[in-house]
A = this chain, B = another copy of it.
Amino acid sequence: MKLCGKPLRNRANSKFDPPDLHRCFREEGHSGKCEEFPYLRHLATCSPKVAKKIMRDSTKTTGAAWKSDDAGPNRISRWVMLLSDQELKALGIKMDMLKPIVVSKLRDKAATYDQCMNVAMSLTYSTYGMARAPAPTPEIKSYLESFFGPIVVGSTVCLVCKAPLDYADFALARRGKAELETAHSSPRSHTAKNVGFAHRLCNIAQGDRSVKEFYAWIKTILQRTGEL
């Protein structure tokens, strides 16, 4: 599918975004207004929290769980983390004031606008592939399928444990933490191919490792305990 791609000049952009960064992702030649996340229109009505989560997780760095002066900016656009320390300073973010570990964590989250938009699209597709997911509108279905292939309900699995994910788990939360999280196969690559959903406990267990490293690690454990 060819996309409209017109810049969204009227979008409330932050001072961090260069002009014309945000674009229209509707089909080329569409009628009506341009839109950045047209494929989220349906989820935004039936489960606004899931739609917001997809937008946030695909485009923003994670929130700082700890509060301190050197914790760094909370939930900033991932593409801003591609700017140099000097460029960021001009925008009011003093990277040199942050602890090295915070800087590296923030820099690890860097991704281009296009990468982020691909992730948002792919997460939306994965959502519709979950067991008990609502059916997308025909328009959104054919839009997403043109990029990723047929939507098969029940085919979306946890990025880590590979068990099928249940859309109803989006509604579960423990102490403000979602049961389903956005996860990365390799922690430092924010691309549609590398990003998916995972159970919260699976994501925690994976930690800072790649999924491959995680598998190798748990295999070693089972070998050591004699379970293999």
Contacts and interface: CB of A to CB of B under 8 A. Distances in A.
Interface of A: 66, 101, 160-163, 174-175, 201, 204-205, 207, 215, 217-222, 224-225, 227-228
Given A204-B205, A205-B205, A207-B205, A220 B101 contact: no
18 contacts: A66-B175, A160-B221, A161-B217, A161-B220, A161-B221, A162-B224, A201-B207, A204-B204, A204-B205, A204-B207, A205-B205, A215-B222, A218-B218, A218-B221, A218-B222, A219-B227, A222-B222, A228-B228
The 5 closest A-B pairs by CB, nearest first: A218-B218, A205-B205, A162-B224, A161-B221, A201-B207
Q: Which of A66, A162, A218, A224 has the most CB of B within 10 A?
A: A218
A81 B207 CA distance: 32
Contacts of A175: 66, 101
Contacts of A205: 204-205, 207
